[in-house]
Amino acid sequence: MTAQQKLYEGKAKILYTTDDPDILLTYFKDDATAFNAQKRGSIQGKGAVNCAISSHLFRQLEAKGISTHFIDQASANEMRVRMVKILPLEVVVRNIAAGSLCKQTGLALGTPISPPLVEFYYKNDDLGDPLLTRDRLLLMGLATAEQVEQLQSMALRINEILIDFFQHCGITLVDFKLEFGLDAEQKILLADEISPDTCRLWDQGEADVARRVMDKDRFRQDLGEVESAYQRVMQRVLANPVSL
Ligand code: 5GP
């Protein structure tokens, strides 16, 4: 199966059609952006690293009963995925306070969050991906009440599975962003990617607040050694087999 037409190009990935209308090819790019694309750059080898990490994590989630768009990894930078209609929502799960939560609430970086927080953001670059309330989300018709319930419970279950997986890698899962889509039968599937671009990951072997960062915050905050941090995440993730 080969890529045919470019369907969509995002900041980090390109989606291609294939000869099967139900299957798309996702190409992971080395391009990196932050702060709603105000900061732009490239992280060498990022595409292949994120493709490998995402593929492995999707396999792990599927093994634990989560329905995802993942079919298989087609090449170093390519993943075959089921065609879905993406919901214009970013679902963020937080286990430890960081990033925009600290900025908007004054909570100190590193404050444990229990039970985990599930937040919905409107995926809209022109509006700067604003935080939504449940009522605003329903008002805007971005999802139904039933879908919101399902997204919330899927996000929490995904969080449990990923916390456990990353624990085996010596990595703390601080927070992460998910995207979901609807298939032809209106079934909700986890979509997009799960990688150091979309998660905050702290190395459990490092106490220093800068050195422990293994994710895109290294790029956002100019902490340096971005490529090697992503590589270390990949090595640890791939060293832990998918378990049932
Ligand atoms: P925050 O709201 O603190 O900026 O982000 C929370 C988590 O979601 C972080 O792990 C961050 O990487 C991820 N996240 C939130 N919005 C986006 C986005 O637009 N793109 C990407 N790649 N990750 C995001």
Average pLDDT over residues 63-84: 98
Give pLDDT tens digits for 103-122. 999 999 999 999 999 999 99
166 lines ligand 1 (CB under 6 A): no
198 lines ligand 1 (CB under 6 A): yes
The answer to whether the beta carbons of residues 16 and 69 sit under 8 Å apart is no
% of the chain surpassing 90 pLDDT = 97
In what helix (H) or strand (E) does residue 115 lie, and over which residues does it extend?
A: strand 112-122
175 lines ligand 1 (CB under 6 A): yes
pLDDT-based confidence at residue 1 (cuts at 50, 70, 90): low
Strand partners, 220: none
Q: State the pLDDT at residue 168.
A: 97
Please report where in the chains the tokens 């992280």 appear, as a residue: 43
Q: State the pLDDT at residue 4.
A: 86
109 C-alpha to ligand 1 centroid (Å)? 15
pTM of the model: 0.97
216 lines ligand 1 (CB under 6 A): yes
46 lines ligand 1 (CB under 6 A): no
Give pLDDT tens digits for 216-227. 999 999 999 999
Give pLDDT tens digits for 182-231. 999 999 999 999 999 999 999 999 999 999 999 999 999 999 999 999 99
Is the predicted pLDDT of residue 244 greater than 90, yes or no? no
Task: Tell me the CA distances in angstroms from 208 to 104, 123, 202, 213, one per residue in order.
Answer: 24, 33, 10, 9
Give pLDDT tens digits for 148-171. 999 999 999 999 999 999 999 999
199 lines ligand 1 (CB under 6 A): yes
| Ligand 1 atom with minimal separation from the 176 CA | 10
